[in-house]
A and B are shown apart, each in its own frame.
Chain A
């Protein structure tokens, strides 16, 4: 292991990490928003929209992110839609994640016993009130484990960004190996940087899950 090499590579890896993190979190935020909106559409059974959302969820859950990114980045410009690699990454991650988050929120909603809706209705609440005050808060807390798993999944998926020429960690590692053949150093740094990115998220996630499970409703 050549420590001088590692030291000299450090700035490039740091840059790459920051880029991955930025796009990763933008994508996650976008996916949460998309997921909630889609879950609401499905729950309220809005005509037409419901079908579109259902199709979107199936389409993006059943195709790899890599293929989705290729489509966004290489295919769309041919019909005149040109997007930068960064936007492409955020959009791709957000669309993929949105489909997963929607499923998580939907099953969170479905897991709430019908009696909750009925007792809220019998108190005179309308559909939006039942949804906003009774179902959504419970669904969100039940969805926490699923959301945490999705976030980790999405951040891991960022590793395909190099295919659309984003200079992320994978790109950097491959590039440096190609130029200087310091394979061991490059791969070690790759692993360490991914650990730096995902270990805190994973730990935070399990902490959050425990909190929600044991504390929130007074146990």
Chain B
């Protein structure tokens, strides 16, 4: 059984089709990079996997079990899927540590000292242990994104979805966030990443998905080959647009 299986996923807003008949299987340890021009549906795609969006057809299975927005088990299903968003979405009224601990304590009902120990260990790993008692406002964008990653990781998700997490950052902060993601990949985390950082995508991907206008145009299991010699004209044109 695959970790994530998407079958005939169809997503539309009214008459407007956003995702047309998507199929995808993700195995443990895969790092799937999703790229494509803006408006191609890549963010919506990630949001469907976490059931943040209602879907109009098909299904998303995690460990063979469907995840549905209105289902009873949505909470436990979502715990299997971690997500980090583009905008800094930390809870502004809670300190860094409280941001990280909220879900483990309230959703997973874990023991505080155990969860706190893990939180500190993770903060240490992203280099922010000394900021535990600060509020989100006191952190830079890059630091906030690293905390957001920790907040997702402490739930022990089976797969991590990263939705353009560096798109809103100042250029000099992009690196520190990407380094954290890279170290996760090396440690064997399963991830799906939407990004515009092509060099990073090429370095981290085990698989690449190129979307355009709500369709999967090209899929490749060899990131290097894809970025150097894409098979489709559309992917080639897209990759060209990054050269100057």
A and B touch in the complex (CB under 8 A): yes
Partner-B contacts on A (CB < 8 A): 113, 115-116, 118-126, 129, 133-134, 137-138, 141, 216-219
Q: Which residues of chain A come closer than 8 Å to B165, judged between CB atoms?
A: none
Does A118 contact B107, Cβ atoms closer than 8 Å?
no
| Nearest-Cβ distance from residue A162 to partner chain B, whole angstroms | 43
| Nearest-Cβ distance from residue B92 to partner chain A, whole angstroms | 5
Cα separation A116 to B17 with both chains bound (whole Å): 26
Q: Which residues of chain B come closer than 8 Å to A121, judged between CB atoms?
A: 52, 78
Q: Which of A118, A123, A138 contacts B92 (CB 8 A)?
A: A138
Does B78 contact A219, Cβ atoms closer than 8 Å?
no
The answer to the question of B82 belonging to the interface, with a C-beta cut-off of 8 Å to chain A, is yes
The answer to the question of B151 belonging to the interface, with a C-beta cut-off of 8 Å to chain A, is yes
Q: List 19 A-B contacts (CB under 8 A).
A: A115-B85, A119-B85, A120-B103, A122-B50, A122-B78, A122-B83, A123-B79, A123-B107, A124-B76, A124-B78, A125-B75, A129-B107, A138-B92, A216-B93, A217-B92, A218-B95, A218-B135, A218-B136, A219-B137
Q: A136's closest neighbor in chain B, by CB?
A: B93
- If A126-B75, A138-B91 are given as contacts, then 6 extra A-B residue pairs at C-beta distance below 8 Å, sorted by A number, are A118-B89, A124-B103, A141-B93, A217-B136, A218-B134, A218-B136
Cα separation A219 to B107 with both chains bound (whole Å): 29
Q: Which of B79, B89, B92, B93 contacts A124 (CB 8 A)?
A: B79
Cα separation A109 to B76 with both chains bound (whole Å): 26
Q: A138's closest neighbor in chain B, by CB?
A: B93
| Nearest-Cβ distance from residue A218 to partner chain B, whole angstroms | 3
Q: Which residues of chain A come closer than 8 Å to B47, judged between CB atoms?
A: 118
Does B137 contact A123, Cβ atoms closer than 8 Å?
no
Cα separation A129 to B75 with both chains bound (whole Å): 11
Partner-A contacts on B (CB < 8 A): 47, 50, 52, 74-76, 78-79, 81-83, 85, 87, 89, 91-93, 95, 102-103, 106-108, 134-138, 148, 151-152, 155
Q: B81's closest neighbor in chain A, by CB?
A: A122
Cα separation A121 to B70 with both chains bound (whole Å): 12
The verdict on A129 contacting B87 (CB below 8 Å), with A124-B155, A217-B137, A219-B137 known, is no
Does B134 contact A125, Cβ atoms closer than 8 Å?
no
Q: Which of B76, B83, B108 has the most CB of A within 10 A?
A: B83
Cα separation A217 to B76 with both chains bound (whole Å): 30
Cα separation A124 to B106 with both chains bound (whole Å): 10
Q: Which of B74, B93, B95, B152 contacts A123 (CB 8 A)?
A: B152
The verdict on A124 contacting B75 (CB below 8 Å), with A116-B89, A118-B52, A133-B106 known, is yes
Q: Which residues of chain B come closer than 8 Å to A137, judged between CB atoms?
A: 93
Cα separation A165 to B75 with both chains bound (whole Å): 56
Q: Which of A118, A125, A138 contacts B106 (CB 8 A)?
A: A125
Cα separation A42 to B52 with both chains bound (whole Å): 21
Does B135 contact A217, Cβ atoms closer than 8 Å?
yes
Q: Which of B50, B91, B138 has the most CB of A within 10 A?
A: B91
Cα separation A118 to B89 with both chains bound (whole Å): 9
Q: B151's closest neighbor in chain A, by CB?
A: A123
Q: Which residues of chain B come closer than 8 Å to A119, judged between CB atoms?
A: 83, 85, 89, 148
Does A129 contact B106, Cβ atoms closer than 8 Å?
yes
Q: Which of A118, A216, A218 has the most CB of B within 10 A?
A: A218
Q: Which of A118, A125, A217 contacts B93 (CB 8 A)?
A: A217
Q: Which residues of chain B come closer than 8 Å to A218, judged between CB atoms?
A: 95, 134-138
Cα separation A141 to B135 with both chains bound (whole Å): 15
Q: A112's closest neighbor in chain B, by CB?
A: B92
Does B78 contact A123, Cβ atoms closer than 8 Å?
yes
| Nearest-Cβ distance from residue B59 to partner chain A, whole angstroms | 19
Does A125 contact B107, Cβ atoms closer than 8 Å?
yes
Q: Which residues of chain B come closer than 8 Å to A129, judged between CB atoms?
A: 106-107
Does A123 contact B89, Cβ atoms closer than 8 Å?
no
Does B87 contact A115, Cβ atoms closer than 8 Å?
yes
Cα separation A124 to B75 with both chains bound (whole Å): 4
Q: Which residues of chain A come closer than 8 Å to B134, judged between CB atoms?
A: 218
